Chain A
Amino acid sequence: MKRLKRVFTILTGALLLAMALTACGGGKSSGDITVDAAKLAEQLQSETVTTDTLAATPEGQIASIYFFDTAKIENAAAYTSSGATACEVAVVECSDSSYTGEVEKLFKNRAEHQAELYKSYNAGEVSKLENAIIKSAGKYVVFCVCDDTGKASQILKDSGF
């Protein structure tokens, strides 16, 4: 009887651990997270961009850079370059998670378009665009073109992405 109890305890523990690990997995997180978009964007730009000084982009201009449907966006924050590098960071909170896929696509288009332009303008920046981080969790989507992608991934992981 005692042995049976022990086996049961071990099995329950293993099951709980497996469930916890699944929730923390990479890729598209489906968790219901809450993020301060402005704060996260600021952290990403200040800690992962080392070759440029990015400036906070006015909210009115963000949509004209990424072409969101503003009616489907709750909140957005972005830091963009003066043009010296391809670095930029954007964090978008969609009205609901069904629009995140579209925003991801827009970010992907942006990275590809910029990479095409930088090829002939400043080829050194192309790899940053090719390694651009595009991640979503819940209603949020993040776009990060930076120098330290490892650090960016860690920040996003810590934020629930």
Chain B
Amino acid sequence: MASDRNTRTKQSSGTSGSDDRARGASRGKRRKRPQSSVNLLSLLALVLVVLLISEGHLVYIMFTQTGSEDVSVSASGGAQTAAAPEEAAEPETGFADNTEANPGSVDLPLAGFSSAASGSGEIPEETPREETEPAEVYSEQLDSPVVVGKTEPPVDDSYFSDAVFIGDSRMEGFRNASGITQGTFLTSVGLNISSMSAATIATADGTISVYQGLSGTQYSKIYVMLGTNDLGYYPWEMFPDEFSGVIEQFHKLQPGAIIYICSVIYLEEALAAQSASYNTNENVRIINDYLLEVAGEHSEYCCYLNLNEIFSNGYGALKEGYSSDGVHLYESALQEMLQYLKNHYVPVEASAETYAEEDTDTGADA
């Protein structure tokens, strides 16, 4: 019975379906004309829209071409105007060279220059090259008995076998890429003088603090490279006291070690300031003065390595092409640093005590 009903249902639905199709077909035929005219109209509208857009685009191109021609003219004009003083200007800036090489780029802000100085097409006339202040020359020859001078003969890697290197990502980069094969490293990315007690140093048994790392094995040399992550330290006046406290703690944990305090290496400001506004060489100089001051306070076991003797461009900044981000040094620069450490050391015979005596004598004479 059920199958009969199904059959009937199927049959009836089949019949009604064919009727519908027939009706639909006839309706389709009847409606074909209006539908095709609607399609035609839509097509026409689409063509119109496309035409409007392309016309508008053409008009836009015409306007922008006129604009860019203006910019090009004024930019090249600016470069020509700048050509005369260019010979006398500092070669480091490369301002005119950039403009000349890429006239279209005058609208782009140049790193290290304000947008006003690198803005519209009229700017080159308003900012002639001669207005750029010449960079101040900075001597890296420091007059202090704690500054380690060049020592002959250079040591080899074995000198670092009883050394511990403490520092931030810059020191970590030194470990990774300088080629140094000896020494213990207590380094971590972002390390600053306030985080000496924080567990940031990775070891095989988990993370430890710098102080914990210095609590076991006794080392003969401690190289300290801190300060880059303290460039935004506030208030500045508190920095020497806190850093002095850190050095005293290092000495307490490692009484037989000479502590080499490394200067904060200069920055390539145009790149470095992008990450933080306080990343300036002016701040590097301030912090280095403090580091030197603290080294002097603890001269009986501290000395100072002025790494900027090799990294300064002569104008108180990192040499160009030494870093990808203005802070972290390339492999070749780190190799230079290793070489510097190898020929700037306190000779073996001058133990920490002898070194202190020499320093005291010098101080007494002065």
Q: Of A60, A61, A117, which one neighbours B188 at CB under 8 angstroms?
A: A117
Residues in B with CB closer than 8 Å to A113 are 202, 207
Question: Which chain A residue shows the least CB distance to B205?
Answer: A67
- Which of these, A67, A120, A121, contacts B203 with CB under 8 Å? A67
Judge whether B330 and A80 touch: CB under 8 Å. no
A7 CB-CB contact with B under 8 Å: no
Q: Are B190 and A121 in contact (CB under 8 A)?
A: yes
Chain A 15-66 interface residues, beta-carbon cutoff 8 Å to B: 52-53, 55, 57-58, 60-61, 64-65
Within 8 A of B (CB), among A89-123: 109-110, 113-114, 117-118, 120-122
Would you call A82 and B173 a contact (CB within 8 A)? yes
Count of interface residues, chain B, beta-carbon cutoff 8 Å: 33
Q: Give min CB distance, A88 to chain B, whole Å.
A: 8
The yes or no answer to B331 lying at the interface (CB within 8 A) is yes
B200: interface (CB < 8 Å) = yes
Q: A117-B200, A118-B189 are in contact. Are A52 and B180 (CB under 8 A)?
A: no
Highest count of chain B CB atoms <10 Å: which of A58, A65, A67, A118 = A58
Judge whether B204 and A67 touch: CB under 8 Å. yes
Q: Mark B174-190, 1 if CB is under 8 A from A, else 0.
A: 01110111101100111
Given A67-B203, A82-B330, A83-B189, A52:B324 Cβ within 8 A: yes
User: A55, A58, A114, A118: which contacts B181 (Cβ < 8 A)?
Assistant: A58
- Tell me the nearest residue of chain A to B187, going by C-beta: A83
CB distance from A129 to the nearest CB of B (A): 11
Max chain A Cβ within 10 angstroms of own Cβ: one of B176, B182, B203, B229 = B176
* Least CB distance, B157 to chain A, in whole angstroms: 9
Residues of A with C-beta under 8 A to B328: 81-84
Q: Name A125's closest neighbour in chain B (CB-CB).
A: B189
B180 touches A58 (CB 8 A): yes
| A22 nearest CB across to chain B (Å) | 37
| Residue from A58, A64, A110 within 8 A of B185 (CB atoms) | A64
From A65, A67, A82, A110, B334 is in contact (CB under 8 Å) with: A82
B200 and A82 within 8 A (CB): no
A72 to chain B, nearest CB (A): 13
A53 touches B189 (CB 8 A): no
Is the beta-carbon distance between A84 and B176 smaller than 8 angstroms? no
**Distance, CA A109 to CA B331, complexed state (A):** 26
| In contact, B177 and A84 (Cβ under 8 angstroms) | no
Q: Knowing A57-B177, A61-B176 are in contact, say whether A83-B327 is a contact too (CB < 8 A).
A: yes
Q: How far is A84 from B176 in the complex, measured between Cα atoms in Å? A: 12
User: Nearest Cβ in chain A — how far from B286, in angstroms?
Assistant: 22
A65 to B189, CA, bound (A): 13
| Measured CA separation A65–B204 after assembly (Å) | 9
With A55-B177, A82-B177, A117-B189 known as contacts, the answer to whether A110 contacts B202 (CB < 8 A) is yes
A-side contacts of B122, CB under 8 Å: none
Kindly provide the distance from the CB of B45 to the nearest chain A CB, expressed in whole angstroms. 43
Complex interface bits, B314-338 against A, C-beta within 8 A gives 1, otherwise 0: 0000000001110111110010000
**Can you list 22 contacts pairing A with B, beta carbon distance less than 8 Å?**
A52-B324, A55-B176, A57-B177, A58-B181, A60-B182, A61-B175, A61-B181, A64-B185, A65-B176, A67-B203, A81-B328, A83-B168, A83-B176, A83-B327, A84-B324, A113-B207, A114-B189, A117-B189, A117-B200, A120-B190, A121-B229, A122-B275
Taking A58-B179, A80-B177 as known contacts, 17 extra A-B pairs with beta carbons closer than 8 A to each other, sorted by chain A number, are A53-B324, A53-B331, A55-B176, A58-B181, A61-B175, A64-B175, A65-B175, A65-B176, A80-B176, A82-B329, A83-B170, A83-B328, A84-B325, A110-B202, A117-B188, A118-B189, A122-B275
- Measured CB to CB, the residues of A under 8 A from B are 52-53, 55, 57-58, 60-61, 64-65, 67, 80-84, 109-110, 113-114, 117-118, 120-122
- List the 4 closest A-B pairs by CB distance, nearest first: A83-B169, A55-B177, A121-B190, A67-B204
